[in-house]
Amino acid sequence: MNRPVDHTLQDPPKLPFEPLIQKNAVITEARWVRVSLTAAALIFLLGFLLMPLIAVFVEALRNGIGAYFEAIVEDDAMAAIRLTLTVSLIAVPLNLVFGVIAAWAITKHSFRFKQLLITLIDLPFSVSPVVSGLIYVLIFGAQGWAGPWMSEHEFKVLFAVPGIVLATTFVTFPFIARELIPLMQAQGTDDEQAALSLGANGWQVFWRVTLPNIRWGLLYGVLLCNARAMGEFGAVSVVSGHIRGLTNTMPLHVEILYNEYNFSAAFAVASLLAMLALLTLGLKSLLEWRHGNELAATRRH
């Protein structure tokens, strides 16, 4: 019934001092073990994460800062940037709305096949992005189910913006719902019941109680969802058709430039994506630092 709320979660007690690390504590390993394990972890991080990141920027600036900006303001590159932003601007709000609805339905109500719905939400995480893209080819392609009807009405999904939006929305759907479900489960329904007993209608309860309670978790989910929506390659690659200036998103544009041995231009566009990643990471850390208690306890990303 009423789940006891752990108020320590909301205002965690602060230790008056940093806990001391005891020299002979049972959990402490010998010095050489600690040093070598730490070193191994650092080398791995440097080699596999930091080096490539630096390499992106080094390669991007290899031909000078002028060439860097030229590669970015070039028509096809600008078209790719515009397309990527457009797709995110459609896919992220869609997932915002449906993610909130799904999480709300799952956590505040009980109904049959609830577990099935939770599993379905995870489907895009478990399916290869290429398969996600192929689904749309099978449905909307010339030989697909809806293909003949679509060509009759001159409405293009595949190899056009609608297909890219669909594929991106599909792949990024779980991010927001998955972030909200544990958070809303932990919060329970007492607040909503209190609001109802005070005379609020369903709409008021949602806008004034439910949504403010999940706002930071929601922002966190939107951030991750957006990062993935802009960076998605596999599914988009299958449905886009790689038409320069029309259906090329930034990741696809990077690949084309790279395949044309136009390395510095490829890395210049890639550096934009890398900066987006850094920005997302920074905002994500800021959110965790400021509102960690209000985010879901289990973080999987």
Partner 1 sequence: MDIQIRNIHKGFGSFPALAGVDLDIASGELIALLGPSGSGKTTLLRTIAGLEFPDTGQILFGGEDTVALPVQQRRVGFVFQHYALFRHMTILENVAFGLRVRPRHERPSDKDIKRKAAELLDLVQLGGLEARYPTQLSGGQRQRVALARALAIEPRVLLLDEPFGALDAKVRKDLRRWLRELHDKTGYTTIFVTHDQEEALELADRVVVMSRGRIEQVGSTDEVYENPATPFVFDFLGNTNILPGEVREHHIYVNGGPQPIADTAGHEPGPIDIYVRPIDLRIADAGVPSFDVDVLSTQRTGPVVRCEARAVTSGAVIEIELPHLHHDVPALKAGARVPLRLSNFSVFARGKPISRQALPDVVANAPAEYRERARAG
Task: Measure CA 105 to chain center.
Answer: 21
Looking at 38, 193, 285, 298, which residue binds partner 1 (CB under 8 A)? 193
Looking at 25, 201, 259, 300, which residue binds partner 1 (CB under 8 A)? 201
Contact 250, 237 (CB under 8 A): no
Task: Tell me if 212 contacts partner 1 by CB under 8 A.
Answer: yes
Q: Which of the stretches 58-66, 115-123, 185-193, 262-270 binds partner 1 when contact is defined by CB under 8 A?
A: 185-193
**DSSP 3-state of 213:** helix
Looking at 28, 204, 285, 298, which residue binds partner 1 (CB under 8 A)? 204
Report the residue number, 232 or 294, with the smaller CB distance to partner 1. 294
Task: Tell me if 120 contacts partner 1 by CB under 8 A.
Answer: no
Report the residue number, 120 or 297, with the smaller CB distance to partner 1. 297
- Structure token digits, residue 104: 């709300």
Query: What are the DSSP calls for 158-174, one per residue?
Result: TTSHHHHHHHHHHHHHH
Task: Tell me if 122 contacts partner 1 by CB under 8 A.
Answer: no
Task: Tell me if 19 contacts partner 1 by CB under 8 A.
Answer: no
Report the residue number, 76 or 191, with the smaller CB distance to partner 1. 191
Report the residue number, 10 or 24, with the smaller CB distance to partner 1. 10
Q: For 20, which DSSP code?
A: P
> What is the spatial distance between Cα 99 and Cα 96, in angstroms, rounded to a whole number?
5
Looking at 190, 275, 298, 299, which residue binds partner 1 (CB under 8 A)? 190
Number of residues forming the site for partner 1 (CB under 8 A): 24
Report the residue number, 161 or 209, with the smaller CB distance to partner 1. 209
Task: Measure CA 267 to chain center.
Answer: 22
**DSSP 3-state of 24:** coil
Cβ 107 to partner 1, closest distance in Å?
16
- Structure token digits, residue 13: 């007690």
Task: Tell me if 219 contacts partner 1 by CB under 8 A.
Answer: no
Cα–Cα nearest to 217, from 263, 156, 176: 176
In a 10 Å sphere around its CB, with 0-12 CB exposed, 13-18 middle and 19+ buried, how is residue 255 labelled? middle
- Structure token digits, residue 158: 């595949």
Task: Tell me if 13 contacts partner 1 by CB under 8 A.
Answer: no
Contact 156, 162 (CB under 8 A): yes
Residues forming contacts to partner 1 in the complex (CB under 8 A) are 1-2, 4-5, 7, 10-11, 190-191, 193-201, 204, 208-209, 212-213, 215
